[in-house]
Amino acid sequence: MPATPETTSRQYAQPVVNAAEAPLIRAPEKIQSVYTVTTIAACLPMAAGWLYFGYHAILVSLLSVASCVAIEWGYFRVTHSPALLGRAHAYLTGVLLALTLPPFTPWYVVILAAAFAILVGKAVFGGVGHFLWQPALVGRFAVAVILPVLAQLTPAGSDQKQVTLTPTHWPVLSRDHLLLGDLDNVAQDRLVAYRGWRSRQASPGTEGFAMQHPAETLAPLSRGEEPAYSALAHPRQDLPNSKPAALTLLPPIGDLLFGARPGGIGETCAAMILVAGIYLVYRNYVKWQLPLAFLASAAVVAAVAPVQLAGPNQTVEWMWFPVFAEGLDVGFTYVCYQVLSGALLLSAFFLATEMTSSPVTTGGQVIFGVAGGWIAMGLQLYFETAIPAYLAVLAMNTLTPTIDAIWLPRVFGQKHFEWLRIPFRGKPTKE
Amino acid sequence: MTHRYGIFTGGIDIPDEKQATLDEPIRAVSEIEVLRVPLAPCGGAAAEAVVEPGQSVRAGERLARAGQDGVDVFAPLAGQVRDVVSVVTAIGRQLMRMPAIELTELSGCREIPDGEETFDWIHADAEELRRRIDESHLVTQRRRPLPLTRWVQRAHRAACEVFVVNAVESQPYITADHRLLVEHGEEVMRGVSILARAVGARRCILAVDQRRTRDYDPLLAPAEYYEVEHAALPPKYPIGSDHILLKVLTRREVPCGGNTLDIGAAVIDPASCFAAYHWVARGRRLGGRLVTISGEHVTRPANLFVPFGTDARSLLPTSPPPYVMGGPMVGTLCEGDAVTGPAVNALLAIDPTPTGSASQCIRCGWCRDHCPTRLNVAVLNDLYELSRVESAELLGALSCVECGVCSYVCPARLPLTRRVRELKRAIRRLRHTPAPRREGEPHHHPETT
Ligand code: SF4
Ligand code: SF4
């Protein structure tokens, strides 16, 4: 600015510093309210879990929440880290962790998982808003990895009970012992005779029955040495020694919908998860695109991916498109069983949608959901793992920063396909 | 019949709170005793006073003379000059301190003046109209005022096709333009016609809120006569932002960092058209504008015709400061001694939401979902914290229209709008391109030491 005598003698308008700035009104939602409402929504499937799994589940849940809050509080006291931000997210982590744990988890495993969730999942990254993986899943993953190692270390022949989170038979309380029954006192049921939870009483002296996890029942369809089934729904008459049909061994679909089936505390009750999830969508805390993409992609994989069936003369038939193989009705039931038998619903609505560890843009969330559902169903079908859906969510969490970096919707006023050029352009060109 | 248009992505529905003043007739101010007329109504260099303390001035007499880049300042009311003082008023989204001339012992008409048309504007050609506007020393009465003649010349030079009158008022509380259209609609239409001809636009659109079209029915005949199209737009904040409005009306997007003239459109507000009509046809400068006085602490909300330089306290005598000057989404908070100027279309006595201290971003994505320009504000916030200005430019930060939506929705209560604006300023500084003197852009601040 040339300082001619004329300009220097003139006065200019000067901005007033530190004036409060627009917008002066704000929306009522705060971070605390977001986490509190999500926690309350997550309590719905937890309540269903309490009903079917009794006081064990209640103890596990309370212990999980208490240890998460206590560990976060302790960490905060030691480090005075400002980024952990209030207790709301610690409660949420505790509840979500409880949802993913089986009801018979021993107390020290719960505390171990909580410690991993808070310390490794959250604190290492700097707290709320910074973590890469959903903290509750970090805790769940850690115990899933550590427990088999611990079991190996236990000297053979010692009279300690083997600790495992994936037993061959999982307990469920029967109708007359809901909420307060004891999971340790159940009868082992043979699945072949199983005709649904509602039509059964526990045998005398027991409070429930133990049965195979539906995902395990379906597993021989796609993995294992030798096919255990010769058809999806109807045993084949033309084969001399036809093996049973897969779907006849499963509980009625109603049991899977309402939660009377083996699984983690919050994994089983699909109806409650849907209600809570739809409430979260309604409150705009969850974008509907992500759960829908996740579930739809998992369902499509289940409908398309091949299953192995026993053919004549000990042969194995790989059958693509199981959804069409024995009519659409059977195919539809099969896909429903595949989707409902694991932890897919819980992952889709509560774990994948964690705001911090999912992409920011809606398009990115669709990518996240589609890829996550694909991985989850792929793992559930072909890999022997107890937590396929959780692993898928963790894998996609890892990719979230990448998705955010490459999915750049066109900004107002930008040229079309500007985003294609961005990764390859070092500096913006000068005009 | 008014044509109905589509809508843009993003945006929010904010409580509109206009009921208090929607049907209140315009009133004149009565209680004021002193005016402090700001000498730099557009920011930048202040005009130099040509009156002496103690001198009596008539209404409309010249108080100060500006260099070639400003506008002269005229007395809104008759009175006596007391002194040159320093005042604060809102320009754009900040408060500016500038010299002002203090007038006391005010007298004269405080209403919107009536009068006969003394100039045959209907048969005047565009060149003549432009010359007349050049003498007017009026300013556009937008958030960031600009000398009207400069605005017209620039739009004329850019050969803009569309002339849009933005009467949408998507911010809560404000109804000043609405009342102006209802009560003085025909004069506004004539002003639109004058300015559109001066600019040389082929098409002329009046954009209004679709909920109020019934109130504007009497305007249909004059609008047809002066060839002004009506556009009824759905109420969704920030449809009143020029760039977004043009996107909805013309389906064209203002390029990143550009201005509305880049897509051949000139946008102005009804109050400026009204003032232009008064000057061009009746030879009178309006020394004031309509200001919405409202808010939850106001006993008698109204739209007042307020002379420039009235202080906030005398307009809101019953409620304690601070007041919101210029609307809750884009305005600023001011104290009682701030004065009105051409940019002030509302003075509100509302409680600003207490924000507390900002916490960190949780990446909820709401800022991005609601940003009308589809900016990924969460990422821009990261870039701001890391001072990575170049990346921000690549992501299109210059497109931001500073609507305030991102700050409004952010659950972490981060001051996102301010951060994006600072990024924009840093980008411009980095590129050594001074901010284009665009319609609505403040004068670049001379670094006076
Ligand atoms: S609205 Fe706030 S908290 Fe949410 S993503 Fe944007 S900056 Fe982060
Ligand atoms: S980034 Fe700019 S345009 Fe987008 S919401 Fe924020 S202020 Fe509005």
Ligand 1 lined by B300 (C-beta under 6 Å): no
- A298-314 residues labelled b (16+ CB within 10 A) or e (exposed): bbbbbbebbbbbbeeee
Nearest CA in chain B to A15: B96
pLDDT tens per residue across span B130-140: 999 988 889 99
Helices (H), B200-339: 220-225, 242-250, 270-282, 312-315
List of chain A residues whose C-beta atoms are within 8 Å of the C-beta of residue B85: none
User: Which residues, in sequence order, are CB contacts of A212 under 8 Å at separation 6+?
Assistant: A168, A169, A170, A191, A262
Would strands B203-209 and B162-167 be described as parallel, antiparallel, or unpaired? parallel
Which residue, by CA, sits nearest to atom 3 of ligand 2? Answer: B400
Kind and range of the H or E run holding A43: helix A31-79
Record the pTM.
Answer: 0.89
Would strands A316-319 and A307-310 be described as parallel, antiparallel, or unpaired? antiparallel
pLDDT tens per residue across span A78-90: 888 776 666 889 9
DSSP-based three-state secondary structure for A272:
helix
Rounded distance between C-alpha atoms, residue B319 and residue B13, angstroms: 28
Mean pLDDT of chain B: 87
pLDDT tens per residue across span B80-124: 999 899 999 988 888 899 999 999 988 877 888 888 888 888 888
pLDDT tens per residue across span B214-261: 899 998 898 889 999 989 998 888 898 999 999 999 888 898 888 888
CB nearest to B408's CB, from A6, A27, A361: A27
Q: Which two tokens stand for residue B448?
A: 């006076």
User: Which residues, in sequence order, are CB contacts of B388 under 8 Å at separation 6+?
Assistant: none
Q: How far is the CA of B13 from the centre of ligand 2 (A)?
A: 15
In chain A, % of residues over pLDDT 70? 89
Residue A5 is predicted with a pLDDT of: 41
Residue A355 and residue B445: Cβ atoms within 8 Å? Answer: no
pLDDT tens per residue across span A223-242: 877 888 888 888 777 777 77
Confidence at A4, pLDDT banded by 50, 70, 90: very low
State the average pLDDT over residues A417-426. Answer: 62
List of chain A residues whose C-beta atoms are within 8 Å of the C-beta of residue B254: 412-413
Residue A1 and residue B447: Cβ atoms within 8 Å? Answer: yes
Q: How far is the CA of B363 from the centre of ligand 1 (A)?
A: 5
- The better pLDDT of the pair B330, A184 is held by B330
Residue B447 is predicted with a pLDDT of: 29
Rounded distance between C-alpha atoms, residue B21 and residue B303, angstroms: 7
Which residue, by CA, sits nearest to atom 7 of ligand 1? Answer: B378
Residue B212 has pLDDT above 80, yes or no: yes
The conformation of residue B139, written as its DSSP 8-state character, comes to: B
pLDDT tens per residue across span A133-168: 999 999 999 999 998 887 777 666 555 556 677 787
Residue A425 is predicted with a pLDDT of: 53
Residue A290 is predicted with a pLDDT of: 96
Confidence at A428, pLDDT banded by 50, 70, 90: very low
Q: Are the beta carbons of A344 and A218 closer than 8 angstroms?
A: no
How many Å separate Cα B149 from the centre of its chain? Answer: 16
Q: Measured between CB atoms, does B389 come within 8 Å of chain A?
A: no
Mutational test site, ligand 2, from B143, B405, B409, B425, max ligand atoms within 8 Å of CB:
B405
HSE-CB at B418 with a 13 A cutoff on CA atoms is: 16
Backbone phi, then psi, for B122, in 5-degree steps?
-65, -35
Ligand 1 lined by B410 (C-beta under 6 Å): yes
Backbone phi, then psi, for B218, in 5-degree steps?
-60, -15
Residue B290 is predicted with a pLDDT of: 93
Rounded distance between C-alpha atoms, residue A56 and residue A47, angstroms: 13
Residue A241 is predicted with a pLDDT of: 75
Mean pLDDT of chain A: 85
Rounded distance between C-alpha atoms, residue A132 and residue A394, angstroms: 9
Residue B98 and residue A12: Cβ atoms within 8 Å? Answer: yes
Q: Are the beta carbons of B199 and B160 closer than 8 angstroms?
A: yes
Residue B348 is predicted with a pLDDT of: 92
Residue B445 is predicted with a pLDDT of: 34
How many Å separate Cα B86 from the centre of its chain? Answer: 22
Residue B347 has pLDDT above 70, yes or no: yes
Which residue, by CA, sits nearest to atom 5 of ligand 1? Answer: B363
Mutational test site, ligand 1, from B369, B371, B377, B380, max ligand atoms within 8 Å of CB:
B377
User: Which residues, in sequence order, are CB contacts of A267 under 8 Å at separation 6+?
Assistant: A45, A99, A100, A342, A343, A345, A346
SS3 content of chain A, % helix, strand, coil (to 5): 55, 5, 40
Residue B328 and residue A83: Cβ atoms within 8 Å? Answer: no
List of chain A residues whose C-beta atoms are within 8 Å of the C-beta of residue B363: 129, 355-356, 358, 360
Give how far A123 is from chain B: nearest CA, Å: 14
Rounded distance between C-alpha atoms, residue B284 and residue B277, angstroms: 9
In chain A, % of residues over pLDDT 90? 44
Q: How far is the CA of A129 from the centre of ligand 1 (A)?
A: 10
State the average pLDDT over residues B397-419. Answer: 92
Nearest CA in chain A to B256: A413
Confidence at B433, pLDDT banded by 50, 70, 90: low
Kind and range of the H or E run holding B229: strand B229-233
* Domain residue limits, chain A: 31-151
Residue A430 is predicted with a pLDDT of: 45
* Residue with tokens 């001399």, as numbered in its chain: A240
Residue B43 is predicted with a pLDDT of: 83
Residue A260 has pLDDT above 60, yes or no: yes
How many Å separate Cα A265 from the centre of its chain? Answer: 12
Q: Are the beta carbons of A368 and A326 closer than 8 angstroms?
A: no
DSSP-based three-state secondary structure for A413:
coil
A264: left (phi over 0), alpha (psi -120 to 50) or beta: beta
The neighbour count for residue A133, using CB atoms within 10 Å, is 23
Rounded distance between C-alpha atoms, residue A60 and residue A110, angstroms: 7
Residue A99 is predicted with a pLDDT of: 95
Query: Which residues lie with the beta carbon below 6 Å from any ligand 2 atom?
Result: B 371-373, 375, 377, 400-406, 416-417, 420
